[in-house]
Amino acid sequence: MSTSAIPRTAPREGGARTGAPVLEIRNLSVDYGYGSDPTHVLRQASLTLHRGEVLGLAGESGCGKSTLAYGATRLLPPPGLVTGGQVWFTDRDGTRSDILALDDAALRASRWRDMAIVFQGAMNSLNPVFRIGRQIADGILAHSPGMSRADATERAAAMLEMVGISPDRRRDFPHQLSGGMRQRVMIAMALSLDPQVLIMDEPTTALDVVMQRQIVEQIAELRERLGFAVIFITHDVSLLIEIADRIAIMYAGEVVEEAAAQDVYRRPRHPYTDALLHSFPPLRGPRRELGGIPGSPPDLARLPTGCPFRARCAFAFDACAHVVPELAETGVPGDAPFRRVACLRHDTRSVVEAGFDPQPLPEELARR
């Protein structure tokens, strides 16, 4: 792929850090259900997005990727409920605001202007009875009081051109466009107010690989030109390794590993990451043995004690049933300083504190 914006091999140390934090999710907890026994889907998940970077969010279905993104933007439908945490958004001029503390009017104003979203199945997010130019212009007008409709339409045409659709197609109806074009219209719409954060929730899932590639290249190119930061949610890890600067792997509502994309790919530190990487064939490099992950993700309503991954983990030991692993530095000397992993094989201190014998780091999780 001709994506010059993406470093082919990220430097070992600090290379993926592109700027100051633009979005900091701190200890975000989300429940589903208002009753006496809600399902705790997210338990104090934390994630930081830096200005201008592409942060990939990966994991199996139902591990809380979308919940994290929608909880942080307060877009969860009932009976979703944010039960704790902060989401700090840092504006271009440096002012910080907690999205979870905004009132409805301020939240409405901030949406799309600060943070825009390309939804899952965005192809069907367009209203079939309105022309696409008008639908883009609607969003622009809603956030720019005093702007004339002609100006907004002109801006819509410019946005279409930017995503590679001829501006004269702005008078087309959604059904006259192909799936990939509709997806690009959605991206144009999301970028029309020059947001600083773009959340893409499986934007390429319904598209064939050729179209996927076009969209991904488009995003990379636009990102370089406009400088927004992207949270890219997908379960396609191989796609993520190509597009993302940094990757956060989620499991059962927790971030279990956070590292530069190439580090995740070449030097996984969490057993789940390692197992994920063995679930698809590598496109380049030496051949690897393919193996799935046995079992299925735990029921979030009845989580086991200790590490939620231990039942499927090849490296689980006695402490895993009793100690909940926290995101911490890896146990491999020489790793990038911001690498974080939540695994007791790396965190010998917690194991010793809980009164268990620490186990050595297996070779698979300590590759250099």
Partner 1 sequence: MTTDTTLVEQIPDLETSGRPKRARQKNLLFLRNSKAITGLAILGFFAVLAIVGPWIAPYDPNQISPDLVQPPSGSHWLGTDHLGRDVLSQLVVGTRSVLVVGFVAGVAATFIGVVVGVTAGFVGGVGDETLSALANVFLVIPQLPLIIIIAGQLPTAGGLTVALVIAATGWAWGARVLRAQTLSLRRRDFIEAARANGERTWRIVLAEILPNLTAIIAAGFVGTVTFAVLSQITLSFIGILPLDTWNWGTVLFWAQNNLALQRGAWWWFVPAGLCIAGLGMALTLINFGIDEFVNPRLRSTGMHARSLRRRKIRPRVGFTPVVHEAQEDRA
Interface residues with partner 1 (CB under 8 A) are: 26-27, 29, 31, 33-35, 37, 40, 43-44, 46, 70-71, 74-85, 100-101, 104, 107, 275, 278, 289, 291, 294-295, 298-299, 302, 304-305, 310-314, 316, 326, 364
User: Taking the CB of residue 67, how many other CB atoms lie within 10 A of it?
Assistant: 21
CB 335 within 8 A of CB 328: no
Give the residue with the Cβ less far from partner 1, 100 or 118.
100
Residue 141 φ then ψ, to 5°: -65, -40
Beta strands 54-58 and 229-233, pairing class: parallel
The least CB distance from residue 89 to partner 1, in Å, is 15
CA angle 364/367/368 to nearest 5° reads 180
Give the residue with the Cβ less far from partner 1, 217 or 274.
274
Token pair recorded at residue 21? 């934090």
The least CB distance from residue 44 to partner 1, in Å, is 5
The least CB distance from residue 85 to partner 1, in Å, is 6
The least CB distance from residue 233 to partner 1, in Å, is 17
Give the residue with the Cβ less far from partner 1, 17 or 40.
40
| 3-state SS class at 172 | coil
CA distance 362 to 345: 8
The least CB distance from residue 198 to partner 1, in Å, is 19
CA distance 51 to 41: 27
| 3-state SS class at 81 | strand
The least CB distance from residue 213 to partner 1, in Å, is 29
CA distance 297 to 62: 8
Give the residue with the Cβ less far from partner 1, 178 or 279.
279
Give the residue with the Cβ less far from partner 1, 19 or 295.
295
Give the residue with the Cβ less far from partner 1, 10 or 316.
316
CB 222 within 8 A of CB 160: no
Give the residue with the Cβ less far from partner 1, 43 or 155.
43
| Dihedral angle computed from the Cα positions of residues 166, 170, 171 and 173, in that order, rounded to the nearest 10 degrees | 100
- Supply the angle between the helices 179-191 and 132-143 in degrees, to the nearest 10: 20
The least CB distance from residue 307 to partner 1, in Å, is 12
Handedness of CA 191, 81, 246, 19 (dihedral sign): positive
No. of helices (H) and no. of strands (E), the chain: 10, 11
Give the residue with the Cβ less far from partner 1, 1 or 314.
314
| Dihedral angle computed from the Cα positions of residues 298, 303, 309 and 312, in that order, rounded to the nearest 10 degrees | -50
The least CB distance from residue 156 to partner 1, in Å, is 23
